Chains A and B, each alone.
Chain A
């Protein structure tokens, strides 16, 4: 039963990672690609790490797996925020289909 769950989590997690990669290739501009990469990538990696903790069922492995999950959950949003901010302030145009840009009045200021 646990082995079955482990295999299922591995397949689902890697499908999410694949979806993140397809999103990075197919979506129209950098901000949207960043969303696909961060959200789906974090979820897929997290599921794979949970599969690892389930597979070994030892305290040391579970603690290390928890460390990796906490690291990924803490660093991925920070990195995505920094990249999105850099992209928005680098005068590159957004996608044609973007029709709400609430930061436009602040653009060019040092925020």
Chain B
């Protein structure tokens, strides 16, 4: 029978490996695009995966201060996502207004 400590150790290693694979997949989507919204979605999921990774590291390394890092990172990642989403909607609105203006003038 496997001991509880080594079970948590193995589970932590498996969880960290899966989160790393997930981060690599999300980075592929971030590089590939094709639209700006896809990249923002990939960044949003990447920040969520980083929060999950920090929590897992905090269990695996038995170091509770990583949880505080996760709290701060979750707040800042939300602000970044909101800023990028507003940037996309503002640029697309400007573009459509400009197209309508061109249509009217031409």
Contacts and interface: CB of A to CB of B under 8 A. Distances in A.
Q: Is chain B's interface secondary structure helix, strand, loop, or mixed overall?
A: helix
Contacts of A83: 37, 40-41, 44, 81, 85, 88
Interface residues of B, number: 54
Given A14-B19, A22-B25, A51-B59, A90 B45 contact: no
B103 to A, nearest CB: 12
Q: Is chain A's interface secondary structure helix, strand, loop, or mixed overall?
A: helix
Given A17-B19, A30-B35, A61 B64 contact: yes
Given A7-B8, A64-B68, A41 B48 contact: yes
Interface of A: 3-4, 6-8, 10-11, 13-15, 17-18, 20-22, 24-25, 30, 33-34, 37-38, 41-42, 44-45, 48-49, 51-52, 55-56, 61, 64-65, 67-68, 71-72, 75-76, 78-80, 82-83, 85-87, 89-92, 108, 110
Interface of B: 4-5, 7-8, 10-12, 14-16, 18-19, 21-23, 25-26, 28-29, 35-38, 40-42, 44-45, 48-49, 51-52, 55-56, 58-59, 64, 67-68, 70-71, 74-75, 78, 81-82, 85-86, 88-89, 92-93, 95-96
